[in-house]
Every structure is written in structure tokens, then in C-alpha cells.
């Protein structure tokens, strides 16, 4: 069969393993684990993981943008960010987002959920207010 070694095991035919596919799977597993445990940007995480990979393993990997999206998806599930609000009253800022990575207060003041809401951040002041629009 074209020089390929075929083995019979419990009524299944198995072919010789593809070393490149195995190496690519190991790289993807490493990237997934790093995505859960690291805060490195996806681009850096992927480039570090493929730095020592063989050319055949690189050819077996998915498109880089898809791998980076996988990293972002893993982190989004892990962080469990709140749903996007539909109104200003629905805006809820979880405690985990009130501080920067260096531990400084990000949100200095929040007047609470109302139609006229004031949020003070370290660099900016946001004033959210409602505008009554009457019939034309």
C-alpha cells in the first residue's frame, strides 16, 4: 500500500501516525493551557508556542487568527464578564473591573444606576443623561 505500514488491531485498520499532526496538537494544548494561566496577549502567547515548532507542524496548525480567537474565547469563558447592557440602568460594573492590573482604583466614583449617571475614572469623567424627545 504505497510503502505505508498498516496494522490490524481489533478489527480496525490503523495507519502510521502523523508526527506533524501530533506536534501541532501538542502546541494547541500548550496554547490552551497558557491561555487559562497567563495574561500575555494572544499574539505573544501563540508566537512563543510556535517558536521551536517544525515546519511540518506549523503547516498542520490552524490559521493564526483562529488560534488567537481560541485564546480570547477561553479567557472570556474563564473571566465570565457581564452581559452587555441594553439600557444605562442595566450597567453593572463587577468588582473585578474596578481596579487596574497594578491594583489602582479604575473607577473613582459611580452615582449608581439611573437615567442621569455620573462615572469618574482615573483619566476621564463620563456623564450619562437621558434626553426627552417629544413628538415632532
How confident is residue 39, by pLDDT bands cut at 50, 70 and 90?
confident
* Residues 92, 47 share a domain: no
Q: Is 1 within the bounds of a domain? A: no
Whether residue 63 is predicted with pLDDT greater than 90 in this model: the reply is yes
58, 79, 100: which is the final residue of a domain? 79
Model confidence, pTM: 0.53
* Residues 112, 48 share a domain: no
Identify the three-state secondary structure at position 108: strand
Q: pLDDT of 71-127, one tens digit each?
A: 999 988 877 667 777 877 777 777 777 777 777 776 666 666 666 666 666 665 555
* Residues 36, 14 share a domain: yes
* Residues 99, 68 share a domain: no
Q: Is 133 within the bounds of a domain? A: no
Distance, in Å, from the CA atom of 81 to the CA atom of 93, rounded to the nearest integer, reads 10
Q: Which domain holds residue 124?
A: 88-128
Q: Is 136 within the bounds of a domain? A: no
The residue assigned the cell 502510521 is: 16
Q: Encode 83-115: b = buried (16+ Cβ within 10 Å), e = exposed.
A: eeeeeeeebeeeeeeeeeeeeeeeeeeeeeeee
Based on the structure, what is the number of domains in the chain? Answer: 2
Distance, in Å, from the CA atom of 94 to the CA atom of 118, rounded to the nearest integer, reads 17
Task: Determine contact, residues 27/20, Cβ cutoff 8 Å.
Answer: no
Amino acid at each position: 500500500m504505497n510503502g505505508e505500514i498498516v496494522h490490524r488491531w481489533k478489527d480496525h485498520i490503523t495507519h502510521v501516525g502523523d508526527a506533524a499532526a501530533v506536534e501541532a496538537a501538542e502546541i494547541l494544548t500548550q496554547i490552551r493551557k497558557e491561555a487559562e494561566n497567563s495574561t500575555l496577549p494572544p499574539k505573544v502567547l501563540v508566537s512563543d508556542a510556535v517558536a521551536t515548532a517544525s515546519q511540518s507542524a506549523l503547516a498542520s496548525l490552524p490559521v493564526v487568527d483562529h488560534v488567537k480567537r481560541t485564546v480570547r474565547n477561553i479567557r472570556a469563558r474563564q473571566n465570565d464578564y457581564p452581559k452587555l447592557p441594553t439600557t444605562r440602568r442595566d450597567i453593572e460594573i463587577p468588582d473585578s473591573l474596578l481596579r487596574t492590573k497594578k491594583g489602582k482604583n479604575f473607577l473613582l466614583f459611580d452615582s449608581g444606576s439611573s437615567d442621569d449617571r455620573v462615572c469618574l475614572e482615573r483619566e476621564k469623567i463620563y456623564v450619562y443623561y437621558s434626553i426627552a424627545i417629544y413628538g415632532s
